[in-house]
C-alpha cells in the first residue's frame, strides 16, 4: 500500500504538493543530503554536455526534428523506432536551439525529473532510507549521466515508464479512475517513444496478475472483477490508440536490422554480464582496462600515475562490481524487492535476453527504463544493513566506483564516428566545383549537421560512383573528396585510384590511434 503522502495527489496527477509534502521527519542532515544529491545531479549532467560530438543517431534525431509532422511519421516508419520522441524534440529545439547542448538538454531534463519521480515512488515502496540511497545511485550513475547527455529517446522513455508505474500503483491502492486514466496516457506515450517500453508494461501486467489472482475468489470478489474490467478497458483504449502505428511496427519487425548478428548462447550470457557492468560503471568503462592497468604497472612499477590508474581499476572492477553483486543478492531477499522490484527489473531483462538470442541487442541502451528499479534494489539493500556505519561504507564505496565511471565518460573525446574534424577541413578547403562522395551514404547526416549552411550541393550519393574507381565526373571536374566511415566495407582496404586517372593529393583520418573516419582528396594528374 502507498503511504499517506500520496493523499496529496488529486485526480491522479502529480502535483507540487505530492512532491514536497510530508517529507521524512528526519534530522536537518537528512534534508541536506536530499538537497545535496539533487543539486549534485545537475552539474554532473551539465558538465561536458557539448564536449563529445553529435554522433550518427543524434544527428538523425536532429534531421527528423527539422521535418514536418507528416514527414517525421514517414521517416520514422522507414526506420526502427516510433515517432513521438522526434515530435518532442521538434518542440524542444524551437526554444532550446539545435546546438549539441540544445539537442541534448531534453534528455537532461527528463533524467532529472525521472530522479524525482523515482524518489517519490521509492520512498513509499521501500522506505525513506532506501529511496534516498536509490536517489544517490541515480545522481552519480555514469549510465544515467550518459543517456542524460544523448539526443535520443532513452531518458524520455524511462521517465514515461516510471510515471506509468507510479500511476498504476496509485490506481491499485486508491481505485481512482483518474489515476488509471493517467496510467493509460503515459503508458501510451512510452510505447510511442520506444518499443521496449512494452516490456515494462508486460512487467506491470505480471505485477497486476500477482495482486489480483489471490483476491478473485474472496468475499469482496465483485469489486475486484470491476477493477479487472477497468484494467482491460484501459488497455483496450491503448490498443485502439496504437492501431494507426501497428502497420509500421509490423513492417519494421519484418525488415529488422541487417547489421545485427545472431549471437550464441555464450554471447547472450556475455551480453547480460556486460549489461550489468554498464549499469554500474557506464558506457566508457571496459573490463580489459584492469588487465591493461596491471600490465602498465608491472612494466613501470615506480610510476605513480600507473599505480593510481591500477588502484582506480581495482576499485571499479573488484570492489565496485563485487559490492554490486552482493547488494543485488541481498536485495532479492527483501520483501519489497521480491514483490515489485524483481518483477519490474527482472521481467524486461529476461524477455530482452530471449530476444537477443535472435539478434544482438545493446541491452543497456534499450533497457534504460529498468534502471530506477535497479537503483531501488541496491538502495533497499543498503538501507537494510544492520548498522548505519555499514550502510554508509557500502553506499560510499558504490558511489566512488560510479564516479570513477563518470570520469571515464568525461575523458572520452567522442562518441562513435566524430565528423567534426572532417567538417572543419571541408569548410576550409572545399572549392566551388569540387565533388564529394560519402561512404556509406547515410553518414552524410553527420556532415549535414556540422555544415548546415555549406554542405556541398554537388554531393554524390553512394553508390553514385563505381567502386572500381573508374569515375568520369564530366564537366571538367578535377577534384573529388571521399569521406569514408569505418562502416564502409572498403574502409581499411584503401582505394586504388592511380590507375583510374586519379591521384591522392592528401588524406586525413581521425582519430589517429583507431581511425573511424577518413577524408581523402583526389585530383586528376
- Residue 461's DSSP bridge partners are 438
- Residue 523's DSSP bridge partners are 479, 503
Q: Which strand (E) or helix (H) includes residue 234?
A: helix 221-242
Spatial separation of the C-alpha atoms in residues 191 and 156, rounded to whole Å:
11
Confidence band of 3 (pLDDT split at 50, 70, 90): very low
Res 459: pLDDT: 62
Res 151: pLDDT: 97
Contact 263, 360 (CB under 8 A): yes
Res 196: pLDDT: 95
Spatial separation of the C-alpha atoms in residues 123 and 23, rounded to whole Å:
10
Nearest Cα neighbor of 481 from 511, 517, 513 is: 517
Res 45: pLDDT: 96
**Is the peptide bond prior to 440 cis by the omega test (within 30 degrees of 0)?**
yes
Res 153: pLDDT: 97
Q: Where are the alpha helices (DSSP H) in 384-464?
A: 388-411, 420-429, 444-450
Confidence band of 215 (pLDDT split at 50, 70, 90): low
Distances (CA, A) of 157 to 163, 189, 219: 10, 8, 40
Residue 4 has pLDDT above 60, yes or no: no
Confidence band of 500 (pLDDT split at 50, 70, 90): low
- Residues contacting 18, CB < 8 A, separation 6+: 5, 6, 8, 9, 120
Confidence band of 255 (pLDDT split at 50, 70, 90): confident
Contact 162, 125 (CB under 8 A): no
Nearest Cα neighbor of 242 from 190, 207, 204, 171 is: 190
Res 16: pLDDT: 41
* Helices and strands per DSSP (H, E), number in the chain: 24, 5
Highest mean pLDDT: which range of 43-52, 334-343, 483-492: 43-52
10: DSSP letter = B
Residue 324 has pLDDT above 60, yes or no: yes
Res 370: pLDDT: 96
Look at 106 and 272; give whichever has higher pLDDT.
Answer: 106
Confidence band of 518 (pLDDT split at 50, 70, 90): very high
How many C-beta atoms surround the C-beta of residue 393 within 10 A? 14
**Span between the terminal Cα atoms of the chain, in Å:** 80
Helix (H, G, I), strand (E, B) or coil at 506: strand
Distances (CA, A) of 431 to 59, 447, 454, 475, 480: 25, 16, 11, 15, 10
- Residue 510's DSSP bridge partners are 517
Q: Where are the alpha helices (DSSP H) in 16-153?
A: 16-20, 28-46, 56-65, 69-78, 84-96, 100-125, 128-140, 142-148
| 0.85 exceeded by pTM | yes
Res 112: pLDDT: 96
Res 260: pLDDT: 73
Residue 488 has pLDDT above 50, yes or no: yes
> Mean pLDDT across the chain, nearest whole number?
84
Residue 464 has pLDDT above 60, yes or no: no
- Residues contacting 326, CB < 8 A, separation 6+: none
Buried b (16+ CB within 10 A) or exposed e, 456-495: beebbebeebeeeeebebeeeeebbbbbbbbebeebeeeb
Give the tens place of pLDDT for each residue, 110-158: 999 999 999 989 888 888 888 999 999 999 999 999 999 999 999 999 9
Residue 5 has pLDDT above 60, yes or no: no
Burial class (CB in 10 A: 0-12, 13-18, 19+), 187: buried
Question: Percent of the chain beyond pLDDT 70?
Answer: 84
Burial class (CB in 10 A: 0-12, 13-18, 19+), 329: exposed
String of DSSP letters for 13-35: B--HHHHHTT-----HHHHHHHH
Cell (9 digits) for 395: 553506499
Residue 293 has pLDDT above 80, yes or no: yes
Contact 499, 452 (CB under 8 A): no
Confidence band of 19 (pLDDT split at 50, 70, 90): very low
Confidence band of 440 (pLDDT split at 50, 70, 90): confident
Look at 525 and 23; give whichever has higher pLDDT.
Answer: 525
Cell (9 digits) for 392: 554508509
Res 245: pLDDT: 96
Residue 2 has pLDDT above 50, yes or no: no
Phi, psi of 43 (to 5 degrees): -65, -30
Amino acid at each position: 500500500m502507498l503511504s499517506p503522502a500520496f493523499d496529496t495527489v488529486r485526480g491522479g496527477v502529480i502535483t507540487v504538493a505530492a512532491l514536497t509534502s510530508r517529507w521524512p521527519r528526519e534530522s536537518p542532515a537528512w534534508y541536506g543530503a536530499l538537497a545535496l544529491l539533487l543539486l549534485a545531479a545537475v552539474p554532473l549532467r551539465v558538465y561536458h554536455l557539448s564536449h563529445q560530438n553529435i554522433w550518427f543517431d543524434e544527428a538523425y534525431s536532429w534531421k527528423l526534428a527539422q521535418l514536418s509532422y507528416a514527414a517525421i511519421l514517414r521517416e520514422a516508419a522507414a526506420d526502427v523506432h516510433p515517432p513521438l520522441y522526434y515530435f518532442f524534440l521538434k518542440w524542444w529545439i524551437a526554444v532550446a536551439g539545435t546546438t549539441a547542448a540544445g539537442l541534448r538538454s531534453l534528455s537532461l531534463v527528463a533524467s532529472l525529473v525521472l530522479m524525482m519521480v523515482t524518489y517519490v515512488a521509492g520512498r513509499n515502496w521501500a522506505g525513506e532510507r532506501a529511496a534516498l540511497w536509490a536517489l544517490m545511485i541515480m545522481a552519480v550513475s555514469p549510465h544515467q549521466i550518459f543517456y542524460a547527455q544523448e539526443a535520443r529517446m532513452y531518458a524520455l522513455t524511462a521517465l514515461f515508464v516510471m510515471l506509468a508505474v507510479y500511476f498504476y500503483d496509485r490506481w491499485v491502492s486508491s481505485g481512482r479512475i483518474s489515476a488509471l486514466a493517467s496510467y493509460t496516457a503515459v503508458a501510451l506515450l512510452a510505447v510511442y517513444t520506444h518499443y521496449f517500453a512494452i516490456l515494462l508494461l508486460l512487467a506491470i501486467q505480471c505485477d497486476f496478475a500477482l495482486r489480483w489472482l489471490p483476491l478473485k475468489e474472496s468475499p469482496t470478489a465483485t469489486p475486484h472483477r470491476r477493477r479487472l474490467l477497468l484494467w482491460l478497458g484501459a488497455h483496450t483504449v491503448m490498443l485502439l490508440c496504437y492501431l494507426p502505428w501497428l502497420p509500421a511496427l509490423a513492417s519494421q519487425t519484418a525488415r529488422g536490422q541487417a547489421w545485427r548478428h545472431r549471437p550464441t548462447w555464450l554471447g547472450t550470457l556475455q551480453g547480460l554480464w556486460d549489461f550489468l557492468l554498464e549499469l554500474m560503471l557506464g558506457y566508457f568503462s571496459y573490463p580489459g582496462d584492469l588487465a591493461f592497468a596491471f600490465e602498465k604497472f608491472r612494466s613501470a612499477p615506480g610510476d605513480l600515475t600507473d599505480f593510481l590508474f591500477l588502484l582506480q581499476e581495482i576499485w571499479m572492477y573488484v570492489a565496485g562490481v563485487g559490492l554490486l553483486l552482493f547488494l543485488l543478492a541481498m536485495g532479492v531477499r527483501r520483501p519489497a524487492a521480491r514483490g515489485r522490484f524483481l518483477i519490474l527489473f527482472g521481467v524486461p531483462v529476461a524477455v530482452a535476453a530471449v530476444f537477443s538470442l535472435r539478434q544482438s541487442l545493446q541491452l543497456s541502451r534499450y533497457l534504460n527504463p529498468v534502471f530506477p528499479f535497479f537503483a531501488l534494489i541496491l538502495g533497499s539493500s543498503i538501507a537494510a544493513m544492520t548498522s548505519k556505519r555499514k550502510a554508509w561504507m557500502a553506499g560510499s564505496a558504490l558511489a566512488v566506483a560510479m564516479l570513477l565511471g563518470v570520469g571515464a565518460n568525461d575523458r572520452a573525446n567522442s562518441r562513435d564516428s566524430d565528423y567534426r574534424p572532417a567538417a572543419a577541413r571541408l569548410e576550409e578547403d572545399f572549392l566551388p566545383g569540387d565533388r564529394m562522395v560519402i561512404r556509406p551514404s547515410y553518414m552524410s547526416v553527420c556532415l549535414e549537421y556540422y555544415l548546415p549552411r555549406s554542405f556541398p550541393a554537388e554531393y554524390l550519393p553512394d553508390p553514385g560512383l563505381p567502386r572500381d574507381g573508374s569515375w568520369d565526373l564530366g564537366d571538367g571536374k578535377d577534384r573529388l573528396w571521399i569521406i569514408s566511415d569505418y562502416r564502409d566495407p572498403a574502409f581499411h582496404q584503401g582505394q586504388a585510384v592511380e590507375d583510374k586517372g586519379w591521384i591522392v593529393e592528401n588524406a586525413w583520418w581521425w582519430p589517429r590511434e583507431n581511425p573511424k573516419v577518413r577524408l581523402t582528396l583526389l585530383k586528376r594528374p
